Structure 1
Amino acid sequence: MKHDQAVELLREALPQLQQSFAHLPTRDFEEPSTDAMRSVLAEITGRLADNYPYFHPLYAGQMLKPPHPIARAAYALAMWLNPNNHALDGGRASSHLEVEAVREIAAMFGWTEYLGHLTSGGTFANLEALWVAGELAPGKKIVASENAHYTHNRISAVLRLPFASIAADARGRMDLSALQAALQSGEVETVVVTLGTTSSGAVDPLDRILDLRQRYGFRIHVDAAYGGYFKLVSNLAEDAAQAFSHIHEADSIVVDPHKHGLQPYGCGCILFRDPSVGRLYKHDSPYTYFTSSELHLGEISLECSRAGAAATALWATQRLLPLRPDGEFANGLACGLKATLRIYERLRKDKRFLTGPEPELDILVFAVKACTLQESSRLATAVFDHAAAEDLHLALAQIPISYFGENAWPDAPAGSKVTCLRSVLMKPEHLDWVDEIWKRLSHAASKAMKAADE
């Protein structure tokens, strides 16, 4: 889609919104100088050029996906009013849009009864999930895979809840034997299950963790901030598909619409299967709740002010692209996974590279083959630099060497990590750019290795 689509859509819609308030008296205060604002915008345009081209398919480094044009236009349109979804007084229309948008996300996971709302992002959404877990079982331990997002450890510390990291297996998933050993202590109340780690896209075996819950009794929080929307995708490998098929059995779920949901930052979502946890949030405010007897979103959120524009953009996107397994939105996710698997197969057959397990989502991690760990890490950095010089933007990551097999670097100490290359192919357009991406990556690798030999 053209980048000016959002501007054109906004240009058409804004006069209609302004007409809704045309009956009000005209403002008589002095407007800022257009020339002065134009000068500031010209300056900031130059400053913003100091960025990677996050919107382009040749940017395949971090988890950055451009918002859909309808999301940009709807967000900007709502910003003309700047609603606050903390209370109905501050965001009358956008609060209702949030309720409707969250209802569709919950339905994607198979829930019709739930408690949920949008947040400023996955970090705060996960904080609310662990806060509720702590309120239900004060002082009990939280556990998560060592490959889970680092915020779970940090959030537990903020909440003064004990936290333990559970070892991961060679595929980057939570190790069930290690989890069972932790559960036997009787101290664990909440297990964080990650469906889509941000390091390698690994999917924890939720279905098998649920079996452990029947035996030991604990709360399951699913952190699907990155991978949640893959619930709609039909081309997942068997293990990942099995895990996602059981997501409705979790006690709470986090998903980030600003990752795969085509939304601007920040837009996260927290859902609880048991609506009665809303009692934990209950509070009274002397000034925000006085014009309606309906539930205010601010009464079920730890955050106060929240952008109504985010809810508006999400609602508009989901109205255009419904969250259906056979829909256009789901097909876009499937395209990213196809692109990832195609490049993975090329890497696997190329003697210059070293691959780990087949990707479960659209994150691809690979190393450069070398005799020593240090040389492999150095070459990965060189490939990263040469690729960037050719406008192919990847990322570097520190990954345990066990991910690449026992014999990758036999002389390296156990538990060592290697600097490797990481690519996130989350844009639907990446599927059409596989050949171009591979051409530039291969050329960058040849340059790096030639320079190493000189």
Structure 2
Amino acid sequence: MKLERESITLLTKALQRLESGFDLPDVNQSLDTKTMEEVILKTAEKMQDNYPYFHPLFAGQMLKPPHPIAKAAYMLAMWVNPNNHAMDGSKASSPMEKEVVADLASMFGWKKHLGHLTSGGTMANLEALWVAGNIHPDKAIIASDQAHYTHERISEVLKLNFDKVATDQQGRLDLEALEEKLKLGNVGTVVCTMGTTGLGAVDPLKEVLELQEKYPFRIHADAAYGGYFRLVENLALETIQKYALLDQVDSLVIDPHKQGLQPYGCGCVLFQNSEVAKYYIHDSPYTYFTSDEIHLGEISLECSRAGASAVGLWATHQLLPPIPKGEFSKDLQKSRNAAIKLYKKLLSSDHFLPIVAPETDIVAWTLKGASTNEMSEKAQSFFKRAEKNHLYLSLYKYPTAKFEDVDFEINTEYLICLRSSLMKPEHEDWLDQIWDRLEQSL
């Protein structure tokens, strides 16, 4: 297949426009282009040893290709190489960051916010839990057993108490188990995962907010993967209602480098209460002098950060605003349609068995068998055969204790099953080809 190249033409024109804005003497640059060509071509050959993450037949892990406008804008920024820690090193890109962060806050219905971009969801969640620990230093962080492992690991790094709560068969936080923890009176923050990495499940935010009226705790929404589904209209009504309540949480994380069409790494952390800025206060004798406005480094734990991430996201928002009924949201709906279509095909198959109904755009399934051990072995063998047919899936461990009323023997702790993140809008059009390759791989 051919890789997209049109953005390179756009980049060349943009570089000329960028260059015209600097009225400075030329700097002599002597480049050994012959050797550079040898190196870059060798690099291209090395990069051939990759799965085709950008292609619709890669239907495995959460790897969504950046939009061409994001790639071009990111590369354009690299000729300046801004550092969005302080205005000194990011005169243009810091205001762009503030603008896109405000766009994201507005997407969730937030009228006020404090936030910034990060190098990814891990760092964004770290900042959110760090603030949570400052507010409730002696209380625990609670997350479901299907929440991303980063919460437990970050809590350990921050020396915060952490506890897991069981989930239901769909992979969503169990409310009765949560309330039992809350009754003990030592919970400071509950993490609601708005789209789990494994199944794409969305925790029951409405009921957690109701519990917040009975017990004093904060809510942190980990919407790193699923946050953009707030814009999607073809979800189940229950899921739409959960996303509509994100304006009521205390803090929130979203990753534009997942569903937001951005290159790695681009995450974002948001706080409803701007007073949490007091926890970030620090002094730097060599920065924060070029502007009286707040510098992004003054509300961030990270120091140097790529301003190019903000530039790429800003350009993408100009082309594809993250608003309901826009082109961006319609493309997300195509991913959701692909998940529904695959699920229905799996349901009607004589060979495959879906694990749960998809709540977002992730589908998990297995091959039918007499026991979970046999089904796990079948899934692992199938995974390898599918790759030989140029269909790239992923594997997932589903806790067998969550199964109810099944017609197979449960003789393992986990069922290893197949999993697809249908994040590309092209997946909807390619679903029939994907299905054909699934059947060929039997």
TM-score range, shorter chain: over 0.9
1:444 correspondence with 2:407? no
Question: Size of the alignment, in residue pairs?
Answer: 441
What displacement does 1:160 show? 0.4
Where 2:418 maps in the other structure, the secondary structure is: strand
What displacement does 1:290 show? 1.3
Cross-structure match for 2:343: 344
CA–CA distance in 1 between the matches of 2:125 and 2:132?
Answer: 11
What displacement does 1:421 show? 0.2
Cross-structure match for 2:24: 24
Cross-structure match for 2:13: 12
Cross-structure match for 1:204: 203
* Structure 2 residue ranges without an equivalent (≥5): none
Amino acid at match of 1:8: T
CA–CA distance in 1 between the matches of 2:173 and 2:47?
Answer: 40
What displacement does 1:270 show? 0.3
What displacement does 1:404 show? 4.9
- Contact map agreement 1:357 1:403 (CA 8 A) in 2: no
What displacement does 1:87 show? 0.1
Deviation by residue 1:402-436 (Cα, 9 ceiling, x = unmatched): 455432533426xx101110001010000000100
CA–CA distance in 2 between the matches of 1:216 and 1:31?
Answer: 66
Amino acid at match of 2:387: A
Cross-structure match for 2:376: 377
Out of 395, 420, 424, the residue aligned to residue 421 of structure 2 is: 424
TM-score by length of 1: 0.95
Where 1:245 maps in the other structure, the secondary structure is: helix
CA–CA distance in 2 between the matches of 1:147 and 1:239?
Answer: 19
Higher mean alpha-carbon deviation, 94-103 vs 2-11, is at: 2-11
Higher mean alpha-carbon deviation, 372-381 vs 395-404, is at: 395-404
Cross-structure match for 2:400: 401
What displacement does 1:346 show? 0.5
CA–CA distance in 2 between the matches of 1:422 and 1:94?
Answer: 38
CA–CA distance in 2 between the matches of 1:308 and 1:434?
Answer: 37
- Contact map agreement 1:356 1:404 (CA 8 A) in 2: no
Higher mean alpha-carbon deviation, 383-392 vs 83-92, is at: 383-392
1:289 correspondence with 2:273? no
Higher mean alpha-carbon deviation, 402-411 vs 347-356, is at: 402-411
Cross-structure match for 2:136: 137
1:161 correspondence with 2:157? no
CA–CA distance in 1 between the matches of 2:300 and 2:143?
Answer: 24
Deviation by residue 1:24-75 (Cα, 9 ceiling, x = unmatched): 12223x5230011101001110000000000000000100000000000000
Cross-structure match for 1:43: 42
Deviation by residue 1:389-409 (Cα, 9 ceiling, x = unmatched): 111100011111245543253
CA–CA distance in 1 between the matches of 2:310 and 2:162?
Answer: 33
Cross-structure match for 1:240: 239
Where 1:260 maps in the other structure, the secondary structure is: coil
Where 2:364 maps in the other structure, the secondary structure is: strand
Cross-structure match for 1:450: none
CA–CA distance in 1 between the matches of 2:410 and 2:24?
Answer: 77
Matches of residues 15-414 of structure 1 in structure 2 within 5 Å?
15-21=16-22, 23-28=23-28, 31-412=30-411
CA–CA distance in 2 between the matches of 1:402 and 1:201?
Answer: 19
RMSD (Å), alpha carbons? 1.2
Where 1:92 maps in the other structure, the secondary structure is: coil
- Contact map agreement 2:356 2:364 (CA 8 A) in 1: no
Where 1:192 maps in the other structure, the secondary structure is: strand
- Contact map agreement 1:401 1:408 (CA 8 A) in 2: no
